[in-house]
Amino acid sequence: MKFVPERVEHVRSDEEPLNPQYVGIFGGTFDPPHLGHRRLVELAVEYLGLEKIWVIPAGIPVHRELSGKASVEQRLAWVERTFEGLPQVEVKSWEIQQKAVPAIDTLRRLNQDMPTIVPVWLMGLDAWLHIQGWIGYPEHQQRCLVAVFKRGDGDCPLYAGWQASSRQQWAEVSLRNKGQVVFVDVDIPEVSSTDIRSRILTIQQGSSQLLKGLVCPGMESQIQAVYENKETGVKYE
């Protein structure tokens, strides 16, 4: 079945399915993807025991701007390569050719069309700190669980309407319910797509070691070439 997220006004009952399948949802612009993205997904498998994770690159993001350097085809190909070798991961191209698709629209369609699936939205601390500004918030509390991956002891507020779940509680499947959030302290590489783009523009061009250890091995030169070329750009419509 081809799944194409779109706006759905109907709101399902918040009853949990009898035999739920917990699927991690990891969205983003991946402009470009990096090893921090891969590590977060690896940790979701390790810490949360998720057997399936869907990585969903955005065509045009809702809450941030694209660099305009990499095409949607390039970003999708990079994402697929970044997550190679992780059997739990499926890269979904549902949104890559679409205009901005808010997270709530994706969740509504998942709840409606795949009612046995319980989405577990995976995010870093920065995304969690801005979740109250997401389109449709706080309806997300009725439609998914959230896992926030953070480094160290950074401030991690619990917003009204969410229920905190410890890792011990998470391990007991019968205690899981939509509207829960689990905070996971993990060692994630301190790298971001913004930092990579800035690094490419500020460090001397042609450095073969510029992106070593930051992006998937074998992709360094291709990514560097795309973002260091100031004459090229992609128009998004």
Nearest in space to 149 (alpha carbons), one of 81, 50, 62, 79:
50
Nearest in space to 112 (alpha carbons), one of 13, 25, 20, 18:
13
Q: How many CA atoms lie within 13 A of 175 on its CB side?
A: 12
CA distance 170 to 133: 26
- What is the reported pLDDT for 8? 32
Question: Rounded to two decimals, what is the model's pTM?
Answer: 0.88
CA distance 124 to 108: 22
Q: What is the pLDDT of residues 134-150, one digit of tens each?
A: 999 999 999 999 999 98
Query: Distances from the Cα of 43 to the Cαs of 33, 87, 94, 189, 227, in angstroms?
Result: 17, 14, 24, 12, 29
- What is the reported pLDDT for 9? 37
Quick check: 10 and 139 in contact, CB under 8 A? no
Q: What is the pLDDT of residues 42-88, one digit of tens each?
A: 999 999 999 999 999 999 888 788 999 999 999 999 999 999 999 99
Q: What is the pLDDT of residues 81-129, one digit of tens each?
A: 999 999 999 999 999 887 889 999 999 999 999 999 999 999 999 999 9
- What is the reported pLDDT for 4? 42
Looking at domain 21-185, its CATH superfamily turns out to be: HUPs (3.40.50.620)
- In the chain, what are the domain boundaries? 21-185, 193-228
Share of the chain above pLDDT 90, in %: 66
- What is the reported pLDDT for 86? 98
Mean pLDDT to the nearest integer, 203-210: 68
- What is the reported pLDDT for 207? 64
- What is the reported pLDDT for 134? 96
